[in-house]
Structure 1
Amino acid sequence: MTIEITFGGYQGDNSVHTRGARSLAEAVERLSDGAARIKFRQNIVEDGHKASDLLSMTESGELDGCYFSSSYLASRVPELALFDQHFAVPSRAHAYGVLDGSLGQRLKQEVEAKTGYSVMGYWDNGLRHISSRGGQLNTPAACEGLKLRTLASDDHQRVFRALGFDPKAIDVRDLPAAVIDGTVDAQENPLTNIYNFRLHETHRSVTMTGHLLGVALVLFNREKVESWPKDVRDAVRLAVAEATKDQRRFAAEDDVICAKAMREDGVELVELTADERAAFADATRGEVDKTRSRFGDDLIALFERDIANASEGAA
């Protein structure tokens, strides 16, 4: 009998996460020789849910798995906030070095110890930039007093307050309306979300801060995983690893595609100079240090070592 695994998402057809999930579904069926297959609920928002409901639905067993931003679990697994160090990771390659290194393995263990999830992978949730309806935001002074939609993370909100923003946590389901009706003056997201959620139609300027590479955890209900036969568990883990390579490639390619499409539509993409980016980093360093201060020296050492190893690999 074929095991049906329900996997949930919250985005449309062109999303790099949707495409990653489709890659996962194909790989599960192939690598399990048909012993398991994915039933993909592509967009639970269309069923009236909030996107963040994916977490409770997966932990309760209503879904077997999902992808979702690591930031939303940081209140339960504080160590995940190591991924939320704004302006601290130089590039995608460095971020992947952390995710795929010793720290990534340690954080999988922390999630399993404190929640009902099993973490099988880390997907690229995009280099995050700031869009606005009012023009360039290339200095902290330009951000002063603007209402900014950001993730439901205390660490993120402290960082953006340090830049002068008034941060607002709004579920992604409600984000397009908040942009259109002026509930927020600005918001921060990867280019793929800015374009695919059509935020660029209202926000005609995107400041390319690249302040954070978001991380999407690939989560499964741990009890469900443990109930599968070993050959199915092994096949799903291999399938997630294969789909992760595809999803990360989609994410990098989509940045180029979305940037080109927005420029052709007349959207201004503002590249920061080295000095301008340094000014943002300087303004937020105190808050990032507060985040880091919560972690033991061993975790910080793992983070720094994985960053250094990624630097050597890039060289």
Structure 2
Amino acid sequence: MKLAKYCASFALAAIVFGGLPAAAADITLRFASVANESSTWAPAQETFKREFEARTDGRVEVQIFNNNTLGSNREALELAKNGAVDFVLSGTGHATRYAPLLNSVIFPYMWKDRETMFKVLDGEIGDQLSDSMNANNMSIIAYWDNGFRHVSNNKGPINKPEDIKGLKLRTLPSSVHVTFFKALGAVPTPMGFSELVPALQQGVIDGQENPPGVVYPYRLFEAQKYYSLTGHVNEPMLIVMSNAARDKLSEEDLKAMEEAIAIATEEERRLNDEKNSELLELLRKEMEVNEVPDETIEQFRTVAKGIYDEAIADLGEGGQELIDALNEANK
């Protein structure tokens, strides 16, 4: 998982593997993904596929299934747990049902910036979170960028704390998110991403919360008028691997996989960082986008900190120590 230990071998490996002829695949691995073709995740997935296949001389083939074609995020994780899918691009919120400790990553107003988040997740804490999925036959092989989440809705811009009260919002399927939005006075409605667009179009919910890298590529602006920059959560995307897939691979193949995912991760993070800024400007042409006043953000932050004790209890063993470490990293 640590990117640094593979960097020195990238250039040489590219030269060595680039000229080798393709061979028939002995192992086929299926990659289930929520990505669509305009997201930053899709090209990074293709990079992972290309680099992994090259490093195994074509003995391993990666088949990518975008747009939830193998099932919703939740269904894909269940398939990975049972060994029917090998890799899943998953939002952190969806994976918390398999590893409650992952809720710590999406505590509202936890991360001061993306650099801090990735420094933490690329280290021992990221390894600890990955290990917490082992009981369900999965692990996390990479943390990808998504961007800070903001609230969109059809009722009006959020400028004051009262503006969010009563809004029926689709939230992440995570206990800490539901508790947070309830505390703000909203009506949290957890649902899978595949259900989101129909729910917005039909008026089942008033709004949702996602970063620009989701709102624009998935054209959520077609069903939403207001986008308020609350920046309440930076939820990383997870590349989850089934233990059954790991068992199929030799030590050499696993090393190739780790090198390939490190390259793809570096690319995805760079692309997403660049595109989120660009997409926010495009959204300004499609929606009414507003900066939320600092005093309102501070009140939201105070509400968030007020639910931490309750949320920590849901993390299970080691939860308090983990939150203490994250708070220290974000000072």
TM-score by length of 1: 0.91
Corresponding residue for residue 6 of structure 1: 30
Aligned pair count? 304
- Of 165, 180, 198, the residue aligned with 2:219 is 198
CA distance in 1, matches of 2:94, 2:223: 27
Question: 4+ residue runs of structure 1 moved beyond 6 angstroms?
Answer: none
Conserved 8 A contact 1:145-1:165: yes
Corresponding residue for residue 273 of structure 1: 293
Which amino acid in the other structure matches residue 45 of structure 2?
A: A
Conserved 8 A contact 2:228-2:291: yes
Pair 1:9–1:187, CA change in 2 (3 A): same
Q: Residue deviations 1:85-111, cap 9 Å, x none?
A: 101211111111221122111111222
1:86 aligns with 2:108: yes
Corresponding residue for residue 207 of structure 1: 228
Identity of aligned residues (%): 26
Which amino acid in the other structure matches residue 253 of structure 2?
A: V
Secondary structure in 2 aligned to 1:53? helix
Q: Residue deviations 1:110-142, cap 9 Å, x none?
A: 222x21112211111321110011221122211
- Of 155, 175, 188, the residue aligned with 2:209 is 188
CA distance in 1, matches of 2:310, 2:38: 37
Q: What's the offset of the Cα at 1:274?
A: 2.3
Q: What's the offset of the Cα at 1:29?
A: 1.7
CA distance in 2, matches of 1:300, 1:142: 30
Q: What's the offset of the Cα at 1:297?
A: 4.4
- Of 260, 282, 297, the residue aligned with 2:281 is 260
Q: Residue deviations 1:140-198, cap 9 Å, x none?
A: 21111111111111211000001110011121111111111111111111112111221
1:154 aligns with 2:154: no
Corresponding residue for residue 330 of structure 2: 307
Q: What's the offset of the Cα at 1:81?
A: 1.1
CA distance in 1, matches of 2:304, 2:328: 23
CA distance in 2, matches of 1:76, 1:52: 10
Q: What's the offset of the Cα at 1:281?
A: 0.7
Which amino acid in the other structure matches residue 220 of structure 1?
A: M
Q: Residue deviations 1:230-253, cap 9 Å, x none?
A: 111110111111111111112112
- Of 302, 311, 318, the residue aligned with 1:282 is 302
Q: What's the offset of the Cα at 1:224?
A: 2.0
1:248 aligns with 2:273: no
Secondary structure in 1 aligned to 2:260? helix
TM-score by length of 2: 0.86
Conserved 8 A contact 1:140-1:283: no
Conserved 8 A contact 1:151-1:169: yes
Secondary structure in 2 aligned to 1:44? coil
Conserved 8 A contact 1:102-1:302: no
